[in-house]
Structure 1
């Protein structure tokens, strides 16, 4: 029999599998995707938000615990479990040496990654390199890895994990045979439901215009996160946390592919100009805070607009100040011409921009600081980086909501145990996106998803091994990642 069964193939799952194996457990990892698509959403990541009190290798200055906590508190609006959040924050300060041991390399932030040289450690080669390194380490340590292994059901006995039902790959168009895999402990790390179009419809419903907003969502991450395991666990009475409409949702290029567009589909010039909807109207403060702290609110904002579409508008003075998108923007020499090319109501659009321009109170423009350039006498306000959009040519980028992962998940505690009616399971644990809603009730800040996955993936792996009486080597050094 398998000692520890890990379900999932992303960062959290791999961290759990590696930690359980280091404790001496016999480990099997089940990845629903084919090998070439392994890694879940982690393959599209690029950095980890890290607490540190002094400069550390690729990180400059300091990013102390309380500042990290305040950043998280602000973006979540208080919708977070402080105990679990602080576990995540503290674990982020000490995980990189362990990551390096498993082949992960770091590099300083690139010039286009504004404001994060102090807070975020970047993976050399991005998330794909990270998951490949972990898979190589897993294979070297003897962890059994199986691909095309979708778990369709979980067998439980009074809150205790017994076995998983696994569907094999299709054979000549017919469903593959179902295999029953028993294990002494299990870690669930199979992601959310963002790729399940029916579940998104169920969660978001129809708006007052009779539209189904989720039909216009693009999925930044993996197509394999269908939420099958999450739904199974909810149906079995697991304690649940999170709002099904809350997600890491970014305003991305409307021309991005339906799945797996990743980070390169993001539009990073929002704070440099204005954003209008299809009626040519602004609808939110584009200069509220630094982009890494606020970029993830814009997907939800666009989702609430007619047709779930928006347009980021800048002029020539902003070119070169942000990471250039993959697709070129729409360019025009006049605002009227730009409105025509975008098929926006010309009069309303031009009035919006002219009203904004008149409202700008330009001080000392500084895109690296919360500067004193703001608007006055226009709604919504723009709090910082407000400059007239008046230097042609003008540029526009179409926006759609891009869902990275959903926040509905399983309630847990500092041991990463799955809970049933408030009681923790003795041998079933959860990590990654399946429990991120404990820390992220809403909102997002760059790199926090990888911090949660790494922290609780490692905890889940240690605790799964401990359920079998196995102790991770770090416990003997007083650095027990099972409790952080």
Structure 2
């Protein structure tokens, strides 16, 4: 019988598999996707948010625990478990050497991301390179890996893990198990159920795009909640970003994100602004815009800038709609011309331009207009003008399984002795709402490593009474 079974193939699952194997356990990893699409949402990541008290290789200055905690507290509005959040924060300070030992390389941030040079360590080659490095290391260490093997259910004996059953009907036993198979962001029906119907008679989830993998259907999350596992989080909350409306339904990744929001205005289908575009630095606020757009008519909006903003943000993969006048721009994007022009002119008149500095919380703001723009407010008055259509792009959902510092799945408050969870399936313990750049990888790395270590210990305690023949069959 295999010692540790890991279900999933993203960052958290791989960290768990590697830690369990380093602890001496035999490990089998089941990935739902084909090999070419392995890695879950982690293949689309870029960086890890890291606590550090002094400059460290690719990280400048310092980012102490208390500042990290306050950043997280602000974006979550207090919907976070402080004990677990601080565990993640502290773990982020000492994981990079371990990551390097497994082939991950880091680089200084690109020019379009210098504002996170102090807080985030960027992966050389991005998330795809990271997961490939982990898979190579896992194979070298003897972790068994099976692709195209989605798991449909978990067999339990009370709160004890016994086996999983794959969608193909195969039963696989193990002494312990780590569940790390993601949220339910790719499950359209579950998203519809979570978001419901709005006052306009729309089903907002029908217009959501999925930034990451199509394989995160939430099958095991739903199964475990139905089986009595303790859950946490609001199913309508998640990491949701405003992305280009022309992006593909799945796997658009980071290149479809629209990063010019704070440099202009955002208008909805009725050509009206609806939120402060300059509330805070973009890495702390980019993840609120998907939800904001989801609440607008038709779940569509446009990020509008002028020539002055060009070159100040990471350009998206699709070019913006361009025009030499505001009237022409409105016509080109299908908005009412008079309303659009009035909205922009009212905004321009409200701008109080001081010393513009997009790397600081500057003094360029609006007065006498709602919603206000708190920083980086400059008139949109220099042709050509550009508009980028945006829709909600969901990255991962926050409904998950409740845990403590051991990463054990809990049933009525009682911790399972041999079933653990990591990654998106438990991120809601730390992220009740909101997001700040790189924290998802921090959570997955911290709890993946904890879960793998705990699963190896549990396996060592679990002396199977099955015959060698039965154990061999279960492992294969």
TM-score range normalised by the length of the shorter chain = over 0.9
Pairing partner for 1:279 from 267, 270, 276: 270
> What is the deviation of 1:347?
1.1
Q: Which residue is equivalent to 2:474?
A: none
The correspondence of residues 283-432 of structure 1 with structure 2, limited to 5 A, is 283-432=274-423
Can you give the 5+ residue segments of structure 1 that lack an aligned partner in the other structure? 168-176, 471-484
Pairing partner for 1:181 from 166, 172, 176: 172
Counterpart-to-counterpart distance in 1, 2:409 and 2:153: 16
Q: Which residue is equivalent to 1:475?
A: none
Q: Which residue is equivalent to 1:123?
A: 123
> What is the deviation of 1:346?
1.0
Q: Which residue is equivalent to 2:218?
A: 227
> What is the deviation of 1:468?
2.8
Counterpart-to-counterpart distance in 2, 1:231 and 1:434: 10
Q: Which residue is equivalent to 1:240?
A: 231
The correspondence of residues 186-201 of structure 1 with structure 2, limited to 5 A, is 186-201=177-192
Q: Which residue is equivalent to 1:68?
A: 68
> What is the deviation of 1:114?
3.8
Counterpart-to-counterpart distance in 2, 1:15 and 1:369: 36
> What is the deviation of 1:113?
1.1
Q: Which residue is equivalent to 2:469?
A: none
Pairing partner for 2:208 from 211, 214, 217: 217
Counterpart-to-counterpart distance in 1, 2:318 and 2:252: 12
Counterpart-to-counterpart distance in 1, 2:32 and 2:185: 15
Counterpart-to-counterpart distance in 2, 1:431 and 1:216: 29
1:351-392, CA deviations, whole angstroms, 9 ceiling, x for partnerless residues?
110000000010000000000000000000000000000011
Counterpart-to-counterpart distance in 2, 1:469 and 1:340: 68
The correspondence of residues 446-457 of structure 1 with structure 2, limited to 5 A, is 446-457=437-448
Counterpart-to-counterpart distance in 1, 2:218 and 2:207: 19
Counterpart-to-counterpart distance in 2, 1:31 and 1:431: 15
Task: Please give the root-mean-square deviation of Cα atoms over the aligned residues, in Å.
Answer: 0.6
Structure 1 residue runs of 4 or more that deviate by more than 4 Å after TM superposition: none
Q: Which residue is equivalent to 1:8?
A: 8
> What is the deviation of 1:295?
0.1
Query: Which secondary structure does the structure 2 equivalent of 1:467 belong to?
Result: helix
Q: Which residue is equivalent to 2:132?
A: 132
Pairing partner for 1:441 from 416, 428, 432: 432
Q: Which residue is equivalent to 1:257?
A: 248
2:37 is aligned with 1:34: no
> What is the deviation of 1:264?
0.4
Query: Which secondary structure does the structure 1 equivalent of 2:357 belong to?
Result: coil
1:389-439, CA deviations, whole angstroms, 9 ceiling, x for partnerless residues?
001111100000000000000000000000000111000000000000000
> What is the deviation of 1:256?
0.2
After the TM superposition, which of the residue ranges 407-416 and 106-115 deviates more from structure 2?
A: 106-115
> What is the deviation of 1:469?
3.5
Counterpart-to-counterpart distance in 2, 1:77 and 1:395: 33
Counterpart-to-counterpart distance in 2, 1:13 and 1:271: 35
Query: Which secondary structure does the structure 1 equivalent of 2:361 belong to?
Result: coil
Q: Which residue is equivalent to 1:172?
A: none
> What is the deviation of 1:298?
0.1
Query: Which secondary structure does the structure 2 equivalent of 1:113 belong to?
Result: helix
Aligned residues: 461
Counterpart-to-counterpart distance in 2, 1:325 and 1:125: 18
Counterpart-to-counterpart distance in 2, 1:62 and 1:100: 21
Counterpart-to-counterpart distance in 1, 2:214 and 2:134: 21
TM-score, normalising length: structure 1: 0.95
Counterpart-to-counterpart distance in 2, 1:118 and 1:270: 22
The correspondence of residues 145-184 of structure 1 with structure 2, limited to 5 A, is 145-167=145-167, 177-184=168-175
Q: Which residue is equivalent to 1:144?
A: 144
Q: Which residue is equivalent to 1:481?
A: none
Counterpart-to-counterpart distance in 1, 2:149 and 2:113: 36
Can you give the 5+ residue segments of structure 2 that lack an aligned partner in the other structure? 462-476
Counterpart-to-counterpart distance in 2, 1:217 and 1:79: 24
